[in-house]
Amino acid sequence: MKKTVMFFAMLFVGSISVFAQDKGDEPDNSVFQFLPVYDRYASKECIVKLKDGTTVKGINDDLDRKKGQITAIEIKDPATKKTTEYKAEQIDEMYLYPSGFDKLSKRSAAVTDLKAYTNNSLDKILNQGYCYFKNQSVSLKNKKKEKEFLMQLVNPDFCSAIMVFGDNMAKESASIGVGPMKVAGGIDKSFYVRKGDEVFWLKKAEFEDNYDRLFGDSPEFVAKFPKKDVVWRKLNLYIYEYTKTVTK
């Protein structure tokens, strides 16, 4: 029994060592981490900004989805109890609270620990615990006809060059660790990304194939992070570093 415990302890320490060595001189991960992608949202006050400039506030009563992405929301007026449906095609952006259970299960302290944003009003709203959704016209999994959805932005503090949106249907990579002690892993294997006017589904298996599409226009980035060396679990770091090179 002692030998078994010792084996797993050594395995766990070794995992930490390898993970730490791989990080090298990278910046503090808390600066450029992706926010958790949520599936459930609380029946609390939500904020919806329509394309015509109108702001609607009320209680999130129901959501319609397709492949995990939001296609419509029903908002209840807390005074009259009347419910109104708004389609994604009508909405520019939206703010929802994740449900308490979903926040707990994803250990989402990061939602309220965000750092400076270029948009002060967005900063204030996110710091209240809201998730931010933006209207995007996208082909789901690069196969379906383009349609408008409300998609959760997961890199709001470094999204000026590349915007990353959650894929609620994404699979997760395996974790590194023993039992409940995890040091790495559990990373979504796909996201939706927007660069310029192009929005597409990016999955782990095709990351290297899309390297030039994402980063090829920055010689400084390419020199620092060559295609042959990139790994999926550092996608957030790469987008953070790429953003710095193109926004100087």
Residue 155 · residue 164 · CB < 8 Å: yes
State the average pLDDT over residues 225-245.
97
- Measured between alpha carbons, how far is 235 from 219 in angstroms, rounded to an integer? 18
Q: Given a cut of 50, is residue 237 above it in pLDDT?
A: yes
d(CA 89, CA 131): 19
- With CA atoms as reference, report the closest residue to 243 among 164, 153, 162, 154: 162
Half-sphere exposure of 191 (CA within 13 A, CB side): 25
Alpha carbon of 144 to those of 134, 135, 213: distances in Å? 19, 17, 21
Which pLDDT value is given to residue 14?
A: 43
Region 36-156: CATH code: 2.30.30
Q: Give the chain's mean pLDDT.
A: 81
pLDDT higher than 50, residue 10: no
* C-alpha to C-alpha distance for 111 and 131, rounded to whole angstroms: 8
Is-contact 47 130, C-beta < 8 A? Answer: yes
Query: pLDDT by residue (tens digit) across 180-222?
Result: 333 444 689 999 999 999 999 999 999 999 999 999 999 999 9
Q: Give the pLDDT mean for 143-171.
A: 95
Domain range summary for the chain, segments of one domain joined by +: 36-156
Q: Which among 97, 100, 113, 104 has a CA at the least distance from the CA of 46?
A: 97
70-109 residue pLDDT tens: 999 999 999 999 999 999 999 999 999 998 755 544 543 3
